[in-house]
Chains A and B, each alone.
Chain A
Amino acid sequence: MKLRLKVWRQKSANDKGYFEDHTLEANEHMSFLEMMDVMNEELIQQKKEPVAFEHDCREGICGACSLVINGQPHGPMQGTTTCQLHMRHFNDGDTIHIEPYRANAFPVIKDLVVDRSSFDRIIQAGGYISVSTGQAEDGNAIPINRNDSSLAFDAATCIGCAACVAACPNASAMLFTSAKVSHLALLPQGKVEASRRALKMVNQMDEEGFGRCSNITACEAECPKGISIDNIARMNREYLSASLVGEEK
């Protein structure tokens, strides 16, 4: 299949970016990133600089790959990361636009690579259970309702790729933040500091420059792991009750 690619190039956060045209011969068994590998190999053969993009596990779990493909984070397939997207979902002669995530909180490092360390700082603000190594009791000491455990798991499958932010017109990080708040609040071990956690994480989210949530739900639609917006409702409940009571000292 013959493709026309329009790929975003940008030397650094402070430089101006632009779309660069490439034509490429690909085949349908390739993954999208393997198609990009082929493009980069051609650029290297021409002694040009390859396009920088983030990737690692290439099996949809590390969350490193990003890319906005034809306007959609992780491309056209639902529930699929860029690295799991295959060229069989494109047609011969297609033009494909490839861009980085665009959000104030994610400055471009180079080409398609952005800095998502703001997500780490949201977790550092309280996305954990404050238990040190060696303090644990037996794993079966507290039975956990299978349904709660399963809901917590669903929230915990977030891979931190930030597609939710890229999909949101406000560049809000509510889905990411709420997934962590929910995961931990649903478990008895995490319930203890649930309110405090919600307050701190939401404050950090605001500080990082993410936008407000206006219930557009594009985040849920584009999330490669199917994280539900129910989590946002759960976080809002925790946040609201925490705001009423005030943060414990």
Chain B
Amino acid sequence: MSLNSNIPPGPMSDKWTDYKSKMPLVSPDNKRRLEVIVVGTGLAGASAAASLGEMGYNVKCFTFHDSPRRAHSIAAQGGINAAKNYKNDGDSVYRLFYDTVKGGDYRSREANVHRLAEVSNDIIDQCVAQGVPFAREYSGMLDNRSFGGVQVERTFYARGQTGQQLLIGAYQALSRQISLGTVTMYNRHEMLELVVVDGKARGIIARNLTTGKLERFAAHCVVLGTGGYGNVFYLSTNAMNCNVTAGWRVVKKGAMMANPCYTQIHPTCIPQSGEYQSKLTLMSESLRNDGRVWVPAKLEDAKAIQEGRKMGKDIPEEDRDYYLERRYPAFGNLVPRDVASRAAKVECDKGHGVVATGLGVYLDFESAFERYGKSKAHSMNLHNPSTEKIRELGVAEIEEKYGNLFEMYEKITGENPYKTPMKIYPAVHYTMGGLWVDYNLETNIPGLFALGECNFSDHGANRLGASALMQGLADGYFVVPYTIGPFLSKEIRTPKFSTDLPEFAQAENAVKERLQNFLDNNGNQSVESFHRRLGKIMWEHCGMARNAEGLKKAIGLIRELREEFHKDVFVPGTMDEFNPELEKAARVADFFELGELMCVDALNRKESCGGHFREESRTEEGEAKRDDENFAYAAAWEWPDVKNDPVLHKEHLKFEAIELKTRSYK
């Protein structure tokens, strides 16, 4: 099978405009006859369902949550990028495009990223019109801040709850379409199988999680906005119920999974505190605007802190190592996430960590308190304010900016971050890999589209901060409403599909059999315990640093554990009832297969790039070393049957608008 990315011809900056002007359209009358299934109600799914409904398509929208508003996009904190250049600091569509391609370590598809940068401004306008209360200046104009990996201020935000506000905007747009009847909403319905008829995606099998019944749904095409697979690591910043099942079920039907090894480990999360821990909590990257990252320069100081004999504030300034500022003077604390995470690991591996486990570094706001305090005192005409007064004013300013984050930190750790520096450590946060899609966001199964985090397209090997929200909404509001046209325009004569077709019965039976197996198993171990063990293998061998030996070992371990899982997992209850353990079992089963493919992909990619760091491939200074000659491609894996080996297809990445060069933040 050959991969055709369907990139339109022409110069980079004209591709999207030209393509849009010439693409086939579906007339309003025909739209009313066409049905679209949208799975997922996060930023990508909700915005797509709402927009497609507004256009006149008949939309059926699905979420496994009790309400569309619970999708995990809601937890995104920091902000959303757009090339508005409201700060007059030299921003432009080209610069956003360039930063994203460079930030992704030159492993994304140029044409898609350029389109993303082009529509970024429309997203902000749309969200403002929907009533998203973005931060504003006293003039009433929109405010911006800065994020990692860029040198302009282009991030729009709503305190530390930008994802929540954007998702509620999309949820409200979706709710409006539900009330108008263009979208039928199915809450508490989980997609467990894709139905393919004559080679095209024509429906899904979903389990009604309240009654436990399997239900069939048909449509002319299927759109997935089902998020990322970070929970394969068990501990991550993802919500507990985030899973890969919808995405993985379509892989089993022949769709390709691209670059599954690209995982984003976020540098600023609250360190792990115990074995029973169920998830990790992110502290927004925006904190690196004002916080300085450091560890004690002397090993004996670090040891004293780990043993509780000293505190961070006991370490004099000259004995602190602000390692990001030291190693990367040009970007300092605002280097991209992959770089910041690896640097934290390096310091902790050397023994400089500042928590009992040795796995933590400081994020310190003391100098920000002083800086903001002085500025505030000046604006209040306070002459010669005392150090205490300056600090007090500075604390108030920081509280205004990041109050909810500081509060969240205190709730979880029991420590007051206004008094002692925060302790942070990297954690799994986002997955750049995902379903392979072409320029239309269509997978290799015709009629199956993938949007947002569940596709692979825009972030290459590393995503920049505040770009996930941008991509989710770009795909849903401004890309798929157009790019679904080329497929659906050929379907205007296709009548509605009956769910009595044998393909539906077959798919439903397959699901039934899969679920019944878990229930009949009557093993001895809980689903959770297996998930935890899988996560440990993944983190150890396919986490922040990877090597061939470890990855080979991990593949063996995962296979063994998968076998044990299918033999010895215990799932209580029955199929025909509300049964959260059964839901989890089906999801963890899919994580096992995905986890193996991630290791296979990581093993195949012998270079280091972005979030994928192969210990064998580094420069003399220890930085990641890319190999453009051999690996400038997206690795799309076909793996319908785990009994056979996965098959690799390569989409070679061509760089026309941006010159391939070594990424440097020094």
Binding site for B on A (CB under 8 A): 12, 27, 29-31, 33-34, 37-38, 41, 44-45, 47-50, 52, 54-64, 77, 79-80, 84, 86, 88, 109-110, 113, 115-117, 119-120, 123-140, 143-146, 149-150, 152-153, 156-157, 159-160, 183-184, 187, 189-190
Contacts and interface: CB of A to CB of B under 8 A. Distances in A.
Given A137-B129, A144-B136, A62 B572 contact: no
B411 A86 contact: yes
Given A58-B278, A189-B131, A133 B478 contact: yes
A238 B89 CA distance: 42
Contacts of B407: 79
Contact of A149 (B133, B274, B528, B570): B133
A37 B84 CA distance: 46
Given A34-B278, A47-B570, A153-B158, A131 B129 contact: yes
A189 B129 CA distance: 6
A64 B66 contact: yes
Interface string B133-146: 11111111110000
B142 A56 contact: no
Contacts of A41: 526, 528-529
B543 interface: no
A204 to B, nearest CB: 10
A139 B127 CA distance: 8
B286 interface: no
Given A47-B572, A153-B159, A27 B411 contact: no
A33 B278 contact: yes
A109 B579 CA distance: 11
A146 B159 CA distance: 13
B65 to A, nearest CB: 7
What are the 6 tightest A-B residue pairs by CB atom distance, in nearest-first order? A143-B140, A128-B172, A136-B129, A136-B125, A153-B133, A139-B128
A24 to B, nearest CB: 12
Given A47-B570, A49-B572, A139 B124 contact: yes
B129 A135 contact: yes
B274 A133 contact: no
Given A56-B241, A57-B74, A80-B411, A125 B179 contact: yes
Contacts of A135: 129
Interface of B: 47, 50-51, 54, 65-70, 72, 74-75, 84, 86, 122, 124-131, 133-142, 158-159, 161, 164-165, 168, 171-173, 175-176, 178-179, 185, 187, 210, 239-241, 273-274, 276-279, 281-282, 407-408, 411-412, 414, 477-478, 481, 526, 528-529, 570, 572-573, 577-578, 580-581
Contact of B526 (A45, A49, A86): A45
A124 B175 contact: yes
A78 B86 CA distance: 39
Nearest to A115: B66
A56 B65 contact: yes
B273 A29 contact: yes
Given A116-B66, A143-B140, A57 B72 contact: yes
Contacts of B176: 124, 128, 130
Contact of B129 (A30, A119, A127, A129): A129
A57 B67 contact: no
Specify which of A38, A117, A153 lies most central, judged by the most chain B CB atoms within 10 Å of its CB. Answer: A153
Given A58-B278, A149-B133, A153-B159, A84 B67 contact: no
A129 to B, nearest CB: 5
A62 B72 contact: yes
A44 B477 contact: no
Given A125-B179, A136-B122, A149 B136 contact: yes
Nearest to B242: A56
Contacts of A49: 572-573
Given A30-B276, A44-B526, A84-B411, A64 B158 contact: no
Nearest to B51: A133
Contacts of A59: 75, 279, 281-282, 408
Contact of A117 (B122, B130, B187): B187
Given A57-B239, A124-B179, A137-B129, A160 B411 contact: no
A64 B164 CA distance: 13
5 contacts: A49-B572, A56-B241, A59-B75, A127-B172, A136-B129
B581 A44 contact: yes
Specify which of A119, A134, A183, A189 lies most central, judged by the most chain B CB atoms within 10 Å of its CB. Answer: A134
A189 B187 CA distance: 29
Contacts of B86: 140
Nearest to A43: B572
Contact of B54 (A37, A132, A137): A132
A117 B175 contact: no
Contacts of A189: 128-131
Contacts of A184: 131
A63 B66 CA distance: 10
A184 B69 CA distance: 17
Nearest to B273: A29
Contacts of B74: 57, 61-62
B68 A62 contact: no
A163 to B, nearest CB: 15
Contacts of A50: 572, 580-581
Contacts of A160: 67, 69
Contacts of A29: 273-274
A159 B66 CA distance: 13
Contacts of A88: 414
A125 B178 CA distance: 10
B187 A120 contact: yes
Given A44-B570, A47-B572, A52-B580, A61 B75 contact: yes
Contacts of A125: 179
